[in-house]
Amino acid sequence: MGLLSGILLTSLIGNTYAAYHDFGIPASKATVDVRVFNVANMTLLNETHAFILPVVPGHESAPFPMYSFLVEHRASQKRFMFDLGIRKDPENTPPAISVALASGFAQLEPYKEIAVLLQDGGINLTSIDAVIWSHAHFDHVGDMSTFPNTTGIIIGPETDTSIYPDNPNSSLQASDFVGHNITKVDFVNSKLTFSGLKAVDYFGDGSFYLLNTPGHLAGHITALARVTPTSFVVLGGDTFHHAGQARPRPAFQKNFPCPAHLLEDAKSSVSTDYFWSHDSRPGAFDLRSRAQALLGISDLPDRFYADPVAAGVSLEKVATFDADADFLVVAAHDISLRDAIPYFPAYINGWKASGLKEKVVWEFLDRANPAFVFSPT
Ligand SMILES: [Zn+2]
């Protein structure tokens, strides 16, 4: 193969980043510590179609964990949270949420709100400098009145901060803000762009970046936490809700080949009435020749993505991290991870050394995993 055709081939494959620096991320030895909580397990009843398509019969209801992250920057002794999950008393949210919950829209297993989980774990709430909301939905904003006024709120620049009852449709209310310093992330004046996403270097040392990922909701942001000098956790918020919206993509399959037993099982477990690929035959699904993610972002009228086209663009960009060996993407409600990731008080910093990513990324295709939604039941 000549040099020219080699170059052509490389450019045709595209998006096959080899390491974090190929994304435009500067080198740094500065890191943060990240610990994960699952605040609550919620099942949205007959709402799968509002998130993912297609919905295969028997999978109309969607189980959702709600991850919340404690991020600690040792160099500055600062602590902050990324997302809080749901408040303890969701009946006290504005009608946009409380009425839907009262009508049986969701089932919640018993849970403790994040302020209690933190204090039970010996984390004094006065030590939390700020709470970052990936976006202002009820299952992310928690109850800011449980945090002291010294804890600030950090939100995406396009976040709608109107409150009920001034805005009768708002799911936010005065107690979500009162007394807290509110900071909107300034992406406009940042020169950083990683994989097409505008980024802000939060501490100015390369340890923690906020990324502009609109679509699910205006102002939706995600974060890139450097947990070792060369590995990152992507705090994905609601960029996607199901691992099958991110996978498989060609670069992902190349870097993370599907384990042989799941590849074989997928032939019969993934219904060819709903899913197809180049080398599939009726009743025999071929995963390897699947050129795009199995599940799409819902664009139905009652979808939970404000702008599904913009959400799709953000997801494509986040998916380039997912396909790379230096990044572990943790979306806020990715149930395929629920029984596999280490929770507080453990740290998730060591995910790469422990081989966690290789163990979990195809779990959504295992019939025994609660994320499995690919054949009728
Ligand atoms: Zn959410």
For residue 314, give the CATH number of its domain: 3.60.15.10
- pLDDT tens, N- to C-terminus, the chain (377 residues): 444 444 444 444 444 567 999 999 999 999 999 999 999 999 999 999 999 999 999 999 999 999 999 999 999 999 999 999 999 999 999 999 999 999 998 999 999 999 999 999 999 999 999 999 999 999 999 999 999 999 999 999 999 999 999 999 999 999 999 999 999 999 999 999 999 999 999 999 999 999 999 999 999 999 999 999 999 999 999 999 999 999 999 999 999 999 999 999 999 999 999 999 999 999 999 999 999 999 999 999 999 999 999 999 999 999 999 999 999 999 999 999 999 999 999 999 999 999 999 999 999 999 999 999 999 99
Alpha helices in the chain (DSSP H): 3-13, 95-102, 114-120, 138-141, 243-246, 250-255, 260-269, 308-322, 356-360
The boundaries of the domain holding residue 131 are 32-247+293-365
Q: Is residue 175 part of a domain?
A: yes
pLDDT of residue 16: 55
Which token pair is 62?
């969607």
Distance 140 CA to ligand 1 centre (A): 6
Which token pair is 212?
């502009």
β-sheet bridge partners, residue 331? 237
Report the run of H or E that residue 155 belongs to, with start and end.
Answer: strand 152-155
Instruction: Report the number of distinct structural domains present in the chain.
Output: 1
pLDDT of residue 18: 79
Token pair 């970046």: residue: 209
Contacts of 316 (CB under 8 A, 6+ apart): none
CA angle 48, 157, 176 (to 5 degrees): 70
Radius of gyration of the chain (CA): 20
Q: Is residue 312 part of a domain?
A: yes
Q: Is residue 109 part of a domain?
A: yes
Distance 321 CA to ligand 1 centre (A): 20
d(CA 67, CA 38): 5
Q: Is residue 272 part of a domain?
A: no
Distance 277 CA to ligand 1 centre (A): 30
Q: Is residue 255 part of a domain?
A: no
pLDDT of residue 11: 42
Q: Is residue 240 part of a domain?
A: yes
Distance 333 CA to ligand 1 centre (A): 7
Distance 45 CA to ligand 1 centre (A): 15
Distance 366 CA to ligand 1 centre (A): 24
Q: Is residue 130 part of a domain?
A: yes
Distance of CA 90 to the CA centre of its chain: 22
Distance 281 CA to ligand 1 centre (A): 36
d(CA 373, CA 49): 12
pLDDT of residue 9: 44
Q: Is residue 334 part of a domain?
A: yes
Distance 64 CA to ligand 1 centre (A): 9
